[in-house]
Each structure stands twice: as structure tokens, then as C-alpha cells.
Amino acid sequence: MPIVNIKLAKPELDKNTKEQLMKDITELLATKYNKAKERIVVQIEDIEAFNIAFGGETVEKLKAKK
């Protein structure tokens, strides 16, 4: 049983976009790797931008610089 955990920095994707992402990942595993769709688990976790850092700087600060 494949379990896929996707972590995304906030701001969150909207509900419909998340649903489509989960469908796309499921379809990929089902068609390319011959996995049964009903056995595929996809979880999306939204993470606050201040809890992720690149090169020691938080995503929140990097976005603010843009």
C-alpha cells in the first residue's frame, strides 16, 4: 500500500486544487506503477512558512524579500 505524504508551505492551496493533486498522484501510481487506486493513501500537510528554512532563512522571510 503506497502512502504519499506531501508537505506544502503555506499559504494553503484551495480545497479543489488539493483534491486534484491527490487525484493526480493516485493516477500516476496506479498507471505507472500498477498500484490499486483504492490502496493508495495521499496526505497533504500544510506547514507554516516560518517553520521551513533554506540556507538558514525561513520561507516567510524569503517570500517577504520578493
Active-site residue 11, yes or no? no
Considering the candidates 1, 2, 33, 37, report the single residue annotated as catalytic. 2
Rounded to whole angstroms, what are the CA distances from 62 to 1, 12, 30, 50?
37, 17, 37, 10
d(CA 57, CA 66): 13
Q: Which one-letter DSSP state was computed for residue 4?
A: E
- Which residues carry out catalysis? 2
